[in-house]
Structure 1
Amino acid sequence: MKLENKAFVITGGCGAIGGGAAKAILARGGIVVVLDVLESAAGEAKVRTYHPDRAYYFQTDIADVDKVSAALDLALKVIPKGSLFGGVHCAAIAPARPWTNKMKDSCADFSKVLKVNAYGTFVVDACIADAINSQYPDEGPYAVRVSEERGCIVNIASMVARPVPGRCLTYGPSKTCVLGISSAASDYLGPSAIRVNTVSPSIVASALMGDRTAYFEAEVEAAAIYPRRFAVVDEVVSAIVYLLENSMMNDFDFRIDGGWRGGTNWAAEKDPRSNAPALE
């Protein structure tokens, strides 16, 4: 499947991975509609640096189904008719708080991160899929299964989604939800010929890292198979592009993690938690 002349919605498209995915799609002749939280003028200015004509921006809240649906309605009006083909869902949050032995201290964070990372994924996938299908005649709930591919959605999960280490007490389970949502969506959208996959990176140097670099560097060195380093954005983006272009890839989790399975390294010389100023 070629990306040329096809439009894709990119959530978190002003960030590192989302921006990289947008640029990669544009480089292949595609069209991108970036959804992010930046104020409209700032977001529009940023995506114009990606491409002056084939990149659009709409400010939205991915955890608000009405706002995402409205953004998709606007997108369908600015892109060429019938061109919407899928999406890359990158938007997420990773809260940080001091280490504590009281698990209930993280309840508020868990509620917030589930709404954005888990519910937001369901909202984004649903709105994109419905927008894709709106380009075709509505044949009712039991329409004949489609044979010609209509699109592909790629969700960004995480290597800490399975297994979930304690340092990712709230973020990890939210990404486990992303895996489940993606698997369910791939089956649900199968009759519409819309594929759904995930990419699960290990640590990627980005704004989400905050001041936790030293902690993760020590954990990767101790537990990754090879390479024992952070992933770079281009490595994640190449996996996204592969999943978009390969029409046989469906209900697949593409791990970009150097074989690291993320358990806490209790064999370290000192308590590994002392390297981390925060708990996710």
Structure 2
Amino acid sequence: MSQLEGRVAIVTGGANGIGRSIAALAAGQGAAVAILDLDREAGMREQSVLVDAGFTALFRQTDVTDARCVQEAVALVTEELGPVDILVNNAGRNVYAEPVAMTEAEWDNVFDVDLKAAFLFAKYTLPSMIDLGRGAIVNIASLHARLTCAGMYPYAAAKSGLVGLTRSLALEVAPHGIRVNAVSPGYIRTALVDEYFAQNPDREAEQKALGVQPLERIGTPEEVAAVVCFLASDAASYVTGADWAVDGGLGARFA
């Protein structure tokens, strides 16, 4: 498959989980891929895996919440790989806060990673996309943007904001031939989901989650990556401002 042939893609949080699968699939479909992540060990490992497989990839340790760091990372990618025309804002973090006990600093940290980072990367990659007259941005949101549960405060607020950013940014950049979409995963087998089940006081939380899955299983990072790479490709040339659920039908349930 070569539906991303000749494209340059940035994947934030690309060293692990869903981001890792997105980076691998994008590379396999012909894109030159930049993996940007705080996890240096995992990032260097994934760079080596992709390069050894014959793909074009680089890793840059990046604090996605720091504007200067983001600007420098984008400049490096442009210098090494060429103008960026695909951006996947995947970096994110879970939070399990108590509304009264949560500090302002903790609140800011959540929104910096889950929402501000998408703004920063769009800010610094859009100029090259505008110059090219094309581009695709895919923001990894969550089912929690529409439906949530107790114990996830304020994750749902941050992800709802990311979907709102997706819609408004899509309208702003459409005249330049740039598309912006969101993907909202449900339960996907990643370290973050395993962490959620592990910290849940209900020891039956995972079995209960499986019990309400219409497809009777938890999804895989590769299944999310397939949708992301489709949205980043010309196959989705008439799709923008959309939020695609990849949740096995969970969001369609009434109860």
TM-score normalised by length of structure 1:
0.79
Distance in 2, matches of 1:216 and 1:128, equals 39
Of the three residues 120, 125, 130, the one matched with 2:117 is 120
Structure 1 partner of 2:69 = 67
Aligned residue for 1:36? Answer: 37
Report the counterpart of residue 141 of structure 1 in structure 2.
none
Aligned counterpart, 1:182: 166
The residue type paired with residue 241 of structure 1 is C
Structure in which a larger fraction of residues adopt helix: 2
Q: Structure 1 residues 107, 241: CA separation in 2 closer, same or farther (over 3 Å shift)? A: same
Question: What's the counterpart of residue 106 of structure 1?
Answer: 102
* Distance of 1:178 and 1:89 partners within structure 2: 10
1:165 CA displacement: 2.4
Q: Does the 8 A contact of 1:152 with 1:196 survive in 2?
A: yes
Distance in 1, matches of 2:182 and 2:115, equals: 13
Gap change, CA 1:262 and 1:173, over 3 Å in 2: farther
1:234–1:66 distance in 2 versus 1, CA, 3 Å: same
C-alpha distance in 1, partners of 2:42/2:163? Answer: 32
Give the Cα separation in 2 of the matches to 1:176 and 1:263: 19
The structural deviation recorded for 1:264 is 11
Contact 1:197 1:250 in 2 (8 A): yes
**Percent identity between the two aligned chains:** 24
Aligned equivalents of 1:87, 1:64: Cα separation in 2: 17
Provide the C-alpha distance between the structure 2 equivalents of 1:211 and 1:176, rounded to a whole number of angstroms: 19
Normalized against structure 2, the TM-score is what?
0.86
Work out the CA distance in 2 between the residues paired with 1:206 and 1:42. 15
Instruction: Label 1:185 to 1:5 Cα distance change in 2 as closer, same or farther (>3 A).
Output: same
Give the equivalent residue in structure 2 for 1:87.
Answer: 87
Q: 5+ residue gaps in structure 2?
A: 199-203
Cα offsets for 1:199-240 (capped at 9, x unmatched): 100011211121515424413413x4x113221112111111
CA 169–211 in structure 1, closer or farther in 2 if over 3 Å, else same: closer
Paired residues in the alignment total: 243
Residue among 205, 218, 225 paired with 1:230: 218
8 Å Cα contact 1:6/1:30 also seen in 2? yes
1:1-280 mapped onto 2 (5 Å cutoff) = 2-39=3-40, 43-52=43-52, 54-80=56-82, 82=83, 84-96=84-96, 103-108=99-104, 109-133=106-130, 135=131, 150-209=134-193, 210=195, 212=197, 214-222=204-212, 224=213, 226-245=214-233, 246-261=236-251
In 2, the alpha carbon distance for the partners of 1:113 and 1:19 equals 21
Going from structure 1 to structure 2, the CA distance change for 1:197 and 1:217 (only over 3 Å counts) comes to: farther
Q: How large is the RMSD of aligned CA atoms in angstroms?
A: 2.3
1: distance between equivalents of 2:148 and 2:122? 23
